[in-house]
């Protein structure tokens, strides 16, 4: 209470305080995520299969609400906010770059993340529905501190 008066903190959630302290924005648009994610084809699948995977991934991200996009960002980076943009639309701090590494197909494995490397490893699932289900499950596991 010496630095920030208690009446200002009243009613803030932990997430609100994180946003205030980070200077970042809770608004994570599809376009902004699209600009910071790149894919690595570590298993050498065909270009056609890789393109299909990317379409599925972006369709899932586009359908996500704001909270789910924050969960995805947190899963990959350990932060639920992106650095703020300056007036020209450029990031004012270190660039965030998320790598999605495509792994061999596994029906039972969930996507995994390495927040230090800002990397998500996702098996090359056989269907859109399986990718969506497994990614959502992984995001929910980290929400419950299981990831």
Q: Do the Cβ atoms of 122 and 111 come closer than 8 Å?
A: yes
Count helices and strands (H / E) in the chain. 6, 4
Give catalytic residues, as residue numbers.
116
Q: Do the Cβ atoms of 39 and 56 come closer than 8 Å?
A: no
- CB-count exposure of residue 131 (10 Å: 0-12, 13-18, 19+): buried
């Amino acid at each position: 209470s010496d630095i920030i008066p208690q009446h200002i903190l009243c009613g803030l959630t932990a997430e609100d305080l994180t946003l205030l302290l980070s200077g970042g924005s809770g608004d994570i648009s599809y376009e902004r995520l699209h600009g910071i994610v790149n894919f690595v084809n570590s298993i050498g699948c065909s270009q056609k299969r890789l393109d299909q995977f990317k379409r599925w991934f972006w369709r899932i991200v586009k359908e996500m609400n704001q909270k789910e996009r924050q969960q995805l960002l947190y899963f990959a980076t350990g932060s639920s906010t992106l650095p703020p943009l300056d007036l020209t639309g450029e990031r004012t701090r270190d660039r965030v770059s998320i790598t999605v590494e495509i792994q061999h197909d596994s029906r039972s494995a969930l996507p995994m993340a390495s927040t230090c490397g800002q990397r998500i490893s996702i098996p090359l699932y056989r269907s859109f529905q399986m990718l969506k289900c497994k990614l959502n499950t992984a995001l929910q596991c980290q929400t419950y501190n299981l990831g």
